[in-house]
Amino acid sequence: MLGGFSYSVKGASHEKRGIVCQDASAYKVGNGFAAAVVADGHGGKKYFRSDAGSQCAVEAALETIELFYADPDEFDLRFRTDHDRMIKRVEKYAIMLWNDKIMHHLNTHPITSDELSKFAYDELDNIPPESYYGTTMVCAVMARGYSWGFQIGDGSLVAVFDDGETSMIMDYEESNPANITSSLCNENAFDMFADFYTEKRPVAIVVSTDGLYTSFGSDFDFLDYHTIIAGQLVRPETFVESLKSNMKKRTHYGTEDDISVSCIYDKELVLSKQNVINDKISENKRLAAERKSKLLNK
């Protein structure tokens, strides 16, 4: 049986400046699958509705996945036959659905005088409407005997496996020039996606916006944090409240950005591999202490 949770918190810098949370997160446990998704609306003048854009992104991702899994047996068969092609189909449909959602939002919420006042005369005419809603997106899916996911823009996807090993299973590399933001709002968004597929069963997969990653001092600390998450999933109700509190504190580290986390997990593996994961947490603490000692003795 699969489970999940998600949460978004406004960044400390946004609190100080009176800016809305531009992140969104959600999860879905459906028939034959569980999906987790986060989206990080862009900062910057022309992305002035990115908070709505990120919300539309998480909705589009989950609705797309649920649609494709309408017949899970058929989808499993087709997916295992050619997972690359099927993931690309999901990505393309999610982009289309996101565009439909943001255009509906724009049509039902016309540009306000306050929004317009931020731009010089005719300046807004040169900005594509899609850009108002610019956002990244990271999504993971656990299904029957396999897992997969996709990503556009920054953010992280981390898997915790049944041997306690934790890995950034999908290394995202931007396929566009450094001065172009990877975003769902780009005309060539479809070419900017990265994706993954594995038949190695994770205990849990966690997707997060970059505000979480930047709150850690190293990749070691970041990955160890996810092992701790997996170790606490035996008591999800109590743990999630603790995680929310920790995320609020973490917004004061790193870039002080919004933070979103969405997690999906295998309840049976969480229980059966609890000792393995706890041993790994202990080992990680020992290794962290050794690294700290080496730094202090340099």
Q: Where are the chain's structural domains?
A: 2-296
| Single-letter amino acid code for the residue at 4 | G
Which residue has tokens 């494709």?
Answer: 68
Q: Does domain 2-296 have CATH number 3.30.420.10?
A: no
- Tell me which residue of 4, 21, 106 sits closest to 55, measured CA to CA: 21
Supply the pLDDT for residue 180.
64
pLDDT of residue 288: 86
Query: Using one digit for the tens of pLDDT, what is the confidence trace for 50-104?
Result: 999 999 999 999 999 999 999 999 999 999 999 999 999 999 999 999 999 999 9
Which amino acid appears at position 107 of this protein? N
Model confidence at 1: pLDDT above 50: yes
Q: Higher-confidence residue: 180 or 249?
A: 249
CB contact at 8 A, 3 and 267: yes
pLDDT band at 292; cut points 50, 70, 90: confident
Instruction: Give CA–CA dist 99/200, Å, rounded.
Output: 34
Closest CA to 215 of 9, 4, 48: 9
Per-residue model confidence as pLDDT tens digits over 117-147: 999 988 999 999 999 999 999 999 999 999 9
Q: What is the pLDDT of residues 102-114, one digit of tens each?
A: 999 999 999 999 9
Residue 75: per-residue pLDDT: 94
217-256 pLDDT, tens digit each: 899 999 999 999 999 999 888 898 999 999 999 999 888 9
pTM over 0.85: yes
Note the pLDDT of residue 176: 46
Beta strands in 144-246 (DSSP E): 147-152, 156-161, 166-167, 194-198, 202-208
202-208, strands of its sheet edge to edge: 2-9, 259-266, 202-208, 156-161, 166-167
- Of 17-26, 137-146, 169-178, least confident by mean pLDDT is 169-178
pLDDT of residue 298: 66
Ranges of beta strands (E only) in the chain are: 2-9, 23-30, 33-40, 137-143, 147-152, 156-161, 166-167, 194-198, 202-208, 259-266
- To the nearest whole number, what is the mean pLDDT of the chain? 93
Distance CA 175, CA 158 (A): 21
User: By percentage, how much of the chain surpasses pLDDT 90?
Assistant: 85
| Residue 175 confidence (pLDDT) | 44
- Tell whether the model's pLDDT for residue 148 goes beyond 70: yes
Please give the pLDDT value at position 181.
72
Per the listing, tokens 């999610």 go with 94
Instruction: Of 95, 90, 155, give the one whose Cα is nearest residue 130.
Output: 95
Please report the pLDDT score of residue 236 as a whole number. 86
Say if CB 43 and CB 13 are below 8 A apart: no
| Helix ranges, 119-206 (H) | 129-132
pLDDT at residue 171 is higher than 70: no
Confidence at residue 179, expressed as pLDDT on a 0 to 100 scale = 52
- Name residue, tokens 């949770």: 5
